[in-house]
Amino acid sequence: MNEQDEESVDLDVNREAVPAKQEGRGVSEEERAKDLSLVEASKNGDRQAFGKLVERYQRRVYALAFGILRQREDAWDVAQEAFVKAYRNLDRFEGNAAFYTWLYRIAYNLSIDTLREKSRRDSVGFQETRKIEEAMERQGTQPSGDPDETAQRKELASVLEAAMAKLSEKHRAIIVLREIEGLSYEEMAEVLGISKGTVMSRLFHARQNLQALLMPYVNQGENVPANLRVAVQGV
């Protein structure tokens, strides 16, 4: 790719777009092919092509970074840096893997580097908590306008946030990649740079740890969603 002024390429993550709920999970073969086409166009100097890749993956990159870092501003910075780094290194992307797994790996590594550099972090709300709740409940119910149900949902979101914050960065990352992003074991192995067997083992232990952290809430709660109770207690 020819050297260009990066400010002339749309690399800014749209903060207003990120909190919205994502539609679908994973990436189809058609979308992968479109990604490769956009990458090739970017390599040939098409500035708008990479902007389309930013638009396509900005929410997911942010969600991954935030799932690890637990800090909104840090996640914004990592998302921005991930796209800049990807743009600078497009010539190194040969297309053997999907573009988004290559991009996720850049974001994952930057998140881990940032986490290791920071000694203290403030806690913030996790914008994607509802997706974890959906993954654990395995049901697609929509929130109602009932005040009691709204309060219960907020309480559950707070409990999930606290539980996620207590997981190690590796376990948080693999929960986000699987339960929020819906990546396959093979894709997670590519992103994390580990074997498929290690992915399966790490995910198993991450889920066990998350269940253990949620157990006190489930045991004492009177209005815990039935499917969440089954997911945690196994009964």
Q: Which fold is adopted by the domain 129-233?
A: Arc Repressor Mutant, subunit A (1.10.10)
pLDDT of 229 reads 67
pLDDT of 115 reads 85
Q: Among residues 13, 233, 26, 228, which one has the least CA distance to residue 129?
A: 228
pLDDT of 54 reads 94
CATH 1.10.10.10 domain position(s) in the chain: 129-233
C-alpha distance across the termini of the chain, in Å: 56
What pTM value is reported for the model? 0.69
DSSP string, 190-234: HHHTS-HHHHHHHHHHHHHHHHHHHHHHHHH-SS--HHHHHHHH-
What are 76-83's contacts with CB under 8 Å, separation 24+? 76/13, 76/15, 77/114, 78/107, 78/110, 78/111, 78/114, 79/13, 79/107, 80/11, 80/12, 80/13, 81/110, 82/106, 82/107, 82/110, 83/11, 83/13, 83/53, 83/54, 83/58
Q: Is the dihedral of CA 123, 190, 49, 2 positive or negative?
A: positive
pLDDT of 14 reads 59
The CATH number of domain 6-117 is 1.10.1740.10: yes
* Secondary element (H or E) of residue 162: helix 147-166
CATH 1.10.1740.10 domain position(s) in the chain: 6-117
- pLDDT in single tens digits along all 235 residues of the chain: 544 444 344 555 555 544 433 433 567 888 999 999 999 999 998 989 999 999 999 999 999 999 898 888 999 999 999 999 999 999 999 888 899 999 999 999 999 999 887 644 444 344 455 555 555 554 444 444 555 556 666 777 778 888 888 999 899 999 999 888 889 999 999 999 999 999 999 999 998 998 898 888 878 766 676 666 666 665 4
User: Quick check: 107 and 78 in contact, CB under 8 A?
Assistant: yes
pLDDT of 179 reads 85
